[in-house]
């Protein structure tokens, strides 16, 4: 008797089953990773793992954290593969990385170089390139287990906070790799640092502190909050921000909340030089006034607008001087603008762009629009 082909197919479906299925109870969900450099040059990797609802502590090789929803395990090794094997042996469940939301890299590891270490993220399909990447400022660098403390204190929901943030740098692993391999731009990532004053590491508080910029997969320097705002504005990534300034010959400050911003870079290439014009626009309302000025007076409002524009311009110029003159790192992507608009010109400048960028002429224009004084009028003390 000849069996029909469709019957053979049905038989194969029923007898095959899900032979490679992995039960949920057999998986350890990694939600965050911390990478550090040991004194002997080895890599230390910390994993924050989501704890089962029935679990009240960590598993083998880990310690229970203050966050009852997760625990931390760590291992040390010479290569990423070696570290992963040691971490897997410390967990009775199979490590699952697809739910990882953030990767923290210590300052000393970032300065040492990350190319070989981060290479594993691009070749191992278990890794999720949508995870955010941040540098952790070491401070005094004396606490060898500072990264473990960070993972215990910072919840994995930090990625959601970065997505909602409008004035912090939010860079994924994918973004970092694309910038590193792109023409005329160097990558940046978010920066997190410990608050000063904590005596016990488990009570340490961390905060987003600005931006870390890289060159050739090595950390070059940092941008503070004002410099980060300038960077975000110039690269047209700023969603909102604040500008505070002192008025000339007037005691007190005024502050503006930017709610609509726009940044544009205009490239002008000539025979022997390159010029860039940065045009920045912003709209918002005044949210602070500690002066005695009557903001309802149009002349006073005009003075405030001009002073805020000058302050914003100076803030951007200081940021540009830092990356252009001090570090010679094109984190904005001025070279990329040349590459897009004048590829022939870029072919001539590419190999010496670090030197050319340091000498490039960059002008800045800032135009602000005050939509009103909001809840701010004259000084509270009048």
Signed CA dihedral, 339, 358, 114, 72: sign only:
negative
Mark which of 201, 223, 245 sits at the end of a domain. Answer: 223
pLDDT of res. 27: 87
State whether 258 and 169 are in the same domain: no
Over the range 70-101, which residues count as b (16 or more CB within 10 Å of their CB) and which as e? Answer: bbbbbbebeebeebbebbeebbebebbbeebb
Mark residue 372 as left, alpha or beta (left: phi above 0; alpha: psi -120 to 50; beta: remaining).
left
Over 80: is that where the pLDDT of 4 sits?
Answer: no
Read off the pLDDT of each residue in 35-54 and give the average, rounded to a whole number.
87
Q: How many Cα atoms occupy the beta-carbon half-sphere of 365 within 13 Å?
A: 10
pLDDT of res. 58: 42
Over 90: is that where the pLDDT of 260 sits?
Answer: yes
Dihedral, 334, 335, 337, 339 alpha carbons, nearest 10: 180
Q: How many domains does the chain have?
A: 2
CATH number at residue 278: 3.30.300.210
State whether 148 and 46 are in the same domain: yes
| 369 occurs within a structural domain | yes
Mark which of 176, 200, 223 sits at the end of a domain. Answer: 223
pLDDT of res. 347: 93
What are the pLDDT digits (tens) for 135-194?
A: 999 865 555 677 888 888 776 566 667 666 667 899 999 999 999 999 999 999 999 988
pLDDT of res. 1: 55
| 325 occurs within a structural domain | yes
Partnered with residue 206 across adjacent β-strands are 194
Long-range Cβ pairs for the range 343-349 (8 Å, 24+): 345/269, 345/274, 346/183, 346/184, 349/274
What are the pLDDT digits (tens) for 74-129?
A: 999 998 889 989 999 998 889 999 889 899 999 999 999 998 888 788 777 778 88
State whether 200 and 241 are in the same domain: no
What are the pLDDT digits (tens) for 327-378?
A: 999 999 999 999 999 999 999 999 999 889 999 999 999 999 998 665 555 5
End-to-end CA distance of the chain: 103
| Token digits of residue 258 | 């930017």
State whether 169 and 70 are in the same domain: yes
State whether 120 and 247 are in the same domain: no
Q: Which of 16-25, 102-111, 313-322 has the lowest mean pLDDT?
A: 16-25
| 267 occurs within a structural domain | yes
Stated pTM of the model: 0.85
The rounded distance, in Å, linking the Cα atoms of 264 and 316 is 13
Mark which of 194, 223, 252 sits at the end of a domain. Answer: 223
Is the CB of residue 357 less than 8 Å from the CB of residue 337? no
pLDDT of res. 207: 83
pLDDT of res. 56: 45
Run of H or E including 119 = helix 115-123
| Token digits of residue 248 | 């000339």
Residues 6+ apart with CB under 8 A from 317: 364
The rounded distance, in Å, linking the Cα atoms of 106 and 143 is 12
State whether 119 and 244 are in the same domain: no
Is the CB of residue 228 less than 8 Å from the CB of residue 167? yes
| 278 occurs within a structural domain | yes
Based on the number of CB atoms within 10 Å of its own CB, is 60 exposed (0-12), middle (13-18) or buried (19 or more)?
Answer: exposed
State whether 296 and 154 are in the same domain: no
The rounded distance, in Å, linking the Cα atoms of 136 and 195 is 12
State whether 189 and 43 are in the same domain: yes
pLDDT of res. 60: 40
More confident residue, 167 or 296: 296
Instruction: From 316, 137, 147, select the one nearest 210 (Cα to Cα).
Output: 137
pLDDT of res. 351: 93
State whether 253 and 366 are in the same domain: yes
Read off the pLDDT of each residue in 295-319 and give the average, rounded to a whole number.
94
State whether 212 and 346 are in the same domain: no
| 229 occurs within a structural domain | no
Read off the pLDDT of each residue in 259-268 and give the average, rounded to a whole number.
95
State whether 196 and 116 are in the same domain: yes
| 228 occurs within a structural domain | no
Q: How many Cα atoms occupy the beta-carbon half-sphere of 45 within 13 Å?
A: 24
Over 90: is that where the pLDDT of 226 sits?
Answer: yes
Residues 6+ apart with CB under 8 A from 376: 285, 286, 287, 288, 289, 295
pLDDT of res. 279: 98
State the chain's mean pLDDT as an integer.
84
The rounded distance, in Å, linking the Cα atoms of 170 and 168 is 6
Over the range 36-54, which residues count as b (16 or more CB within 10 Å of their CB) and which as e? Answer: bbeeeebbbbbbbbbbeee
More confident residue, 23 or 154: 154
State whether 162 and 301 are in the same domain: no
Owning domain of residue 166: 1-223
| 309 occurs within a structural domain | yes
| 15 occurs within a structural domain | yes
């Amino acid at each position: 008797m000849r069996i029909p082909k469709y019957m053979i197919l049905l038989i194969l479906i029923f007898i095959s089953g899900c032979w490679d299925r992995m039960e949920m109870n057999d998986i350890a969900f990694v939600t965050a990773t911390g990478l550090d450099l040991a004194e002997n040059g080895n890599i230390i990797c910390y994993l924050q793992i989501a704890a089962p609802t029935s679990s009240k502590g960590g598993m083998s090789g880990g310690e229970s954290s203050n966050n009852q929803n997760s625990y931390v395990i760590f291992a040390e090794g010479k290569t990423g593969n070696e570290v992963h094997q040691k971490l897997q042996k410390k967990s009775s469940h199979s490590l699952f990385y697809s739910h990882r939301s953030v990767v923290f890299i210590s300052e000393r590891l970032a300065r040492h170089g990350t190319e070989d270490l981060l290479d594993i993220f691009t070749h191992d399909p278990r890794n999720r390139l949508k995870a955010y990447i941040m540098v952790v400022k070491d401070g005094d660098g004396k606490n060898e287990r500072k990264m473990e403390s960070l993972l215990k204190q910072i919840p994995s929901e930090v990625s959601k906070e970065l997505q909602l943030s409008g004035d912090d740098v939010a860079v994924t692993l994918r973004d970092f790799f694309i910038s590193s391999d792109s023409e005329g731009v160097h990558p940046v990532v978010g920066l997190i640092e410990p608050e000063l004053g904590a005596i016990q590491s488990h009570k340490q508080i961390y905060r987003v502190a600005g931006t870390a910029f890289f060159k050739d997969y090595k950390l070059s320097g940092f941008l503070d909050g004002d410099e980060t705002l300038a960077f975000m504005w110039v690269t047209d990534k700023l969603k909102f921000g604040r500008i505070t300034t002192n008025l000339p010959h007037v005691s007190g400050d005024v502050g503006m909340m930017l709610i609509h911003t726009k940044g544009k870079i205009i490239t002008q290439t000539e025979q022997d030089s390159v010029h860039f014009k940065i045009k920045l626009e912003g709209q918002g309302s005044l949210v602070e006034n500690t002066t005695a000025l009557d903001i309802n007076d149009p002349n006073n409002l005009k003075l405030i607008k001009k002073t805020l524009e000058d302050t914003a311009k100076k803030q951007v110029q200081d940021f540009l001087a830092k990356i252009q003159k001090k570090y010679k790192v094109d984190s904005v992507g001025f070279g990329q603008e040349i590459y897009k608009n004048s590829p022939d010109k870029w072919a001539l400048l590419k190999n010496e762009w670090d030197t050319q960028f340091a000498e490039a002429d960059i002008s800045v224009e800032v135009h602000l629009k005050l939509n009103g004084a909001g809840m701010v009028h004259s000084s509270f003390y009048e």
